[in-house]
């Protein structure tokens, strides 16, 4: 192979890799420092602002929370002020599904406001973080887009998700990588409840179900 043809071959291969990488759905929970309330360690919760031992004990007993709205109801019942709740949500949160999240959920994201209620809804269905960066970044810039990304998730397709996608689900781990892939093709929620429930129980199965979709 002459040098010119070799360079052409290398260039085509590099382009193919770039296209392939660009099409990957990277971790479906936005990466950042916000801790998932449903899987956070007790010690981590106790270290957060306004989290007393009594509050943390009650929180652990009620986990998993089906949504940030449910967590907010609980914390509000503990006589925490809106300002204190905002401070807590800067550290820990129950992620919002970008494709189904309600206005009430989105408004609990610190700094999101009514504008993000409108924009999150307008671009549904969300499929990739590249799409999120492009559409939301037009309004608030990349730094704020990255901050908002920490509070939301794009459900992974149980039948096609790769290891990285599955591992991005809070608390999933290598065991769920194995089990999610073993029972493909997934067809119903009942199948998911039955098969995954054998390993982690009903509450954890329900929590994991929030992060997936069957397509």
Whether residues 66 and 93 share a domain: the answer is yes
User: Taking each helix axis from N to C terminus, what angle separates 129-149 and 113-122, rounded to the nearest 10 degrees?
Assistant: 160
DSSP per residue over 115-178, as a string? Answer: HHHHHHHHTPSP--HHHHHHHHHHHHHHHHHHHHHTTEE-PEETTT--HHHHHTSTT-HHHHHH
- In percent, how much of the chain has pLDDT > 90? 85
Whether residues 138 and 163 share a domain: the answer is no
Whether residues 55 and 90 share a domain: the answer is yes
Residue 110 lies in domain = 35-153
Distance separating alpha carbons of residues 187 and 215, to the nearest angstrom? 8
Whether residues 51 and 149 share a domain: the answer is yes
| 17 falls within a domain | no
Whether residues 133 and 183 share a domain: the answer is no
Each residue of 131-143: pLDDT tens digit? Answer: 999 999 999 999 9
Whether residues 126 and 48 share a domain: the answer is yes
Distance separating alpha carbons of residues 28 and 149, to the nearest angstrom? 10
Q: How many domains, in total, are found in the chain?
A: 2
Segment 102-123 shows an average pLDDT of: 98
State whether residue 190 is helix, strand or coil. helix
Segment 37-61 shows an average pLDDT of: 98
- In percent, how much of the chain has pLDDT > 70? 87
Distance separating alpha carbons of residues 137 and 139, to the nearest angstrom? 5
How far is CA 190 from its chain centroid?
Answer: 22
| CA-only gyration radius of the chain, Å | 20
Q: What is the mean pLDDT of the chain?
A: 89
Whether residues 40 and 138 share a domain: the answer is yes
| 27 falls within a domain | no
Whether residues 141 and 169 share a domain: the answer is no
Whether residues 130 and 160 share a domain: the answer is no
| 119 falls within a domain | yes
Would the pLDDT of 64 be above 60? yes
Whether residues 144 and 117 share a domain: the answer is yes
């Amino acid at each position: 192979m002459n040098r010119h043809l070799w360079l052409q071959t290398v260039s085509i291969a590099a382009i193919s890799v770039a296209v392939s990488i660009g099409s990957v759905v990277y971790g479906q929970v936005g990466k950042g420092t916000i801790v998932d309330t449903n899987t956070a360690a007790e010690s981590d919760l106790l270290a957060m602002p306004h989290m007393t031992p009594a509050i943390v004990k009650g929180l652990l007993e009620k986990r998993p929370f089906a949504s940030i709205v449910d967590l907010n109801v609980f914390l509000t019942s503990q006589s925490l002020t809106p300002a204190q709740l905002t401070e807590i949500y800067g550290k820990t949160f129950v992620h919002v599904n970008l494709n189904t999240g309600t206005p009430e959920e989105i408004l609990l994201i610190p700094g999101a406001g009514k504008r993000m209620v409108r924009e999150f809804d307008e671009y549904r269905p969300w499929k990739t973080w590249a799409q999120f960066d492009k559409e939301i970044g037009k309004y608030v810039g990349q730094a704020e887009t990255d901050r908002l990304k920490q509070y939301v998730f794009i459900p992974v397709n149980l039948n096609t998700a790769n290891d990285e996608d599955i591992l991005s689900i809070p608390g999933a781990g290598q065991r769920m990588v194995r089990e999610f892939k073993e029972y493909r093709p997934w067809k119903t929620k009942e199948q998911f409840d039955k098969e995954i429930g054998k390993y982690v129980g009903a509450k954890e199965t329900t929590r994991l179900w929030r992060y997936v979709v069957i397509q």
